[in-house]
Amino acid sequence: MSPSSLSFTSSPHVHGGDSIPRIMHTVILALVPATLLSILVFGWPALWVIVITTLTAVVTEHLLVKLRLRPSPVGDLSAALTGLLLALTLPPHAPWWICVVGGIFAILLGKQVYGGLGYNMFNPALIARVFLLISFPVEMTTWPHPVGLFGEEALAFGDALALIFTGHVAPGEVMDAISSATPLGQYRIEVSLGKTVQEALGGTYAFSYFNATGGLVAGSLGETSALFLTAGGIFLLKKRVITWHIPLSMLAGCLIPAVLFWLIDGTKYPDPIFHLITGGLVLGAFFMATDMVTSPVTPLGQIIFGAGCGLLTYIIRTWGGYPEGVSFAIVIMNATVPLLDQYTRPVIYGKTKKNI
């Protein structure tokens, strides 16, 4: 055999079955149950929010990459996943322009400005949500009460489209939707007025653990069901798309202080189950904080990262300026990832830490 007939390739020579499209597809599949439930709970407007946000993210990614004269990465489904995750953090009746601005921001300033997939420092969906929440607080904190997809108060398909694009269900007719606070928001407002937790969670739409677990409470689309989101997270664990380190440590980071403060004063601080099944804690723990690009690579770093996300979530929920702190917590901890990777990487055998 002549030397010219030999081919030389660099390692690795053995490849696993995972690929970016396969991983993204698996994560999207894990989100399907909670996504469908959000549509069933909030009706057709939720579907339009999901479609517009996801489509905007995909189109933005395609156009930006084409402007750089590179092949479109739309097929890897990363933009679609970013759009879906962002949609799940939005109110069910978010105006169309909120969806569009958020989708563009997530891809342009949350991803492509760093160089594209694999180079971004912050989770694109969450950095977009933080931007929207700070810039448009009214639109981002208007919560319609769940009316269902086919209930008596449910909007028809066309009326839902009109509501998202015009704010009206008919020409000149303003939508007279019943709005309510999220459980976390209701707790923060009422307790600040001197009421106990038990009094704060009563009222017109009394808090119910059953309803919260099933998603029958006001909130973002991704706050629909802790049960379905947990099932999706377990699915990702079983498929080995994620590991237990970040989800478990993030949940513990929030629930442990919740237990402590609840035991200290149960009339002022809600029990840990309340924190678990309300808001975006489960969505953040399994689907946001575990983003491979913006989380540490070492197991110890992942545990510290997750615990920090959970602790900051509890601190912001309890004493911060916003009733929900998951997005802020994860974005803040994203900034610590390079430091965590540097100081938690294992020592190479035969070398000291000083030599690394």
Classify residue 222: in a domain, yes or no. Answer: no
How far apart (Å, rounded) are the C-alpha atoms in residues 259 and 275?
A: 10
**All residues at 6 or more sequence positions from 59 whose CB lies less than 8 Å from its CB, including other chains:** none
Instruction: Band the pLDDT of 356: cuts 50, 70, 90.
Output: very low
Instruction: Band the pLDDT of 20: cuts 50, 70, 90.
Output: confident
What digits encode the pLDDT tens for the residues 240-261?
A: 999 999 999 999 999 999 999 9
Tell whether 131 and 203 lie within a shared domain: no
Range of the domain at 85: 20-174
Classify residue 62: in a domain, yes or no. Answer: yes
Classify residue 236: in a domain, yes or no. Answer: no
271 close to 324: Cβ distance less than 8 angstroms: no
The pLDDT of residue 339 is above 70:
yes
| Partner residues linked to 144 by β-bridges | 179
How far apart (Å, rounded) are the C-alpha atoms in residues 274 and 279?
A: 9
- pTM of the entire structure? 0.90
Residues in the chain: 356
Tell whether 165 and 88 lie within a shared domain: yes
User: What pLDDT is recorded for position 13?
Assistant: 52
Tell whether 88 and 195 lie within a shared domain: no
Classify residue 350: in a domain, yes or no. Answer: no
User: What pLDDT is recorded for position 117?
Assistant: 87
Tell whether 209 and 337 lie within a shared domain: yes
Instruction: Band the pLDDT of 270: cuts 50, 70, 90.
Output: very high
Pull the structure tokens for residue 229: 């989101």
Looking at residues 173-186, what average pLDDT do you find? 69
Tell whether 328 and 300 lie within a shared domain: yes
Tell whether 96 and 156 lie within a shared domain: yes
Tell how strand 173-174 and strand 168-170 pair up: antiparallel
Pull the structure tokens for residue 172: 């000149």
Tell whether 190 and 70 lie within a shared domain: no
User: What pLDDT is recorded for position 6?
Assistant: 56
Tell whether 306 and 187 lie within a shared domain: yes
Tell whether 60 and 84 lie within a shared domain: yes
Select from 174, 206, 234 the last residue of a domain: 174
How many domains is the chain partitioned into structurally? 2
What digits encode the pLDDT tens for the residues 72-125?
A: 888 889 999 999 999 999 999 999 999 999 999 999 999 999 988 889 999 999
